[in-house]
Amino acid sequence: MDVANRTNTAAGGEPKILAFCCNWCTYTGADLAGLNRMKYPANVRVVRVPCSGRVNPQFILRAFARGADGVVVCGCHPGDCHYATGNFFTRRRFMLMRGLLEFNGIDPRRFHARWISGSEAAKFRDFVSEVCAIVKGLGHE
């Protein structure tokens, strides 16, 4: 979206990807990726949230409106949620949100979700690299 205070994504520049990571699984997984010196694109900005269920659809809208080129929501695997059921609600919300974004002309390939546990550092790395490649391919809107 065209917003005046977008700063560092000039045409041809690096895309910005915002990753909402749950504190208990994915954030720990991302942390482990760092500890293991795994390389993943620096385009990803991680925002730690208490649970993937905390991700208000407004966070996503706000991110896109303020110039994010891609948004990623990550949480624990179904059944592993620290709060027992948070990610089940996320799942429904995500499915609906994706449809609505698509309806509003935002490419659903800019919006992803994955279940990544605290031990799946490699999965986190692979996933964000993959999303980064996809978003780069789409260019800037």
Partner 1 sequence: MNNFSQQQQKIRSAASRLLADGTVRFVIGWAPTRFAERTTVLFAHTEAEAQALVWNAHCTAALGKYLLDHRLADYAVGIVARGCESRMINRLLTDHQIWRERVYILGAPCPGMDAERCAGCRERAPVVWDELLWDADGMPETGGRQDAAPTNLDEATIADVGAGLALPAVGAACSRPLDTDTSLRSRFFRAEAVEGLSAAEKFSYWDEVYAKCIRCYACRQACPVCSCRACYVDMDRQGFQGKQHSAADNRVFGVTRAFHVADRCVECGECERVCPMGLPILGQTQKLIKEIEALTGEAYVQGMDAEEENFLGAFDLDDKDDFL
How many Å separate Cα 105 from the centre of its chain?
19
- Cα gap 42→132, rounded to integer Å: 9
The radius of gyration of the chain's CA atoms, rounded to the nearest angstrom, is: 14
What is the closest distance, in whole angstroms, from the C-beta atom of residue 27 to partner 1 in the complex?
Answer: 19
Among 13, 36, 95, 119, binds partner 1 (CB under 8 A): 95
Interaction of residue 97 with partner 1, rule CB under 8 A: yes
Which C-beta is closer to partner 1: that of 45 or that of 109? 109
At 65, which amino acid appears?
A
Can you tell me which residue has the tokens 């027992």?
84
Among 50, 99, 119, 139, binds partner 1 (CB under 8 A): 99
Interaction of residue 114 with partner 1, rule CB under 8 A: yes
Which C-beta is closer to partner 1: that of 34 or that of 109? 109
Interaction of residue 133 with partner 1, rule CB under 8 A: no
Tokens of 117: 């546990």
- Cα gap 26→32, rounded to integer Å: 9
At 140, which amino acid appears?
H
For partner 1, the binding residues (CB under 8 A) are: 1-3, 57-58, 61-62, 65, 78, 85, 88-89, 91-100, 102-107, 112-115, 141
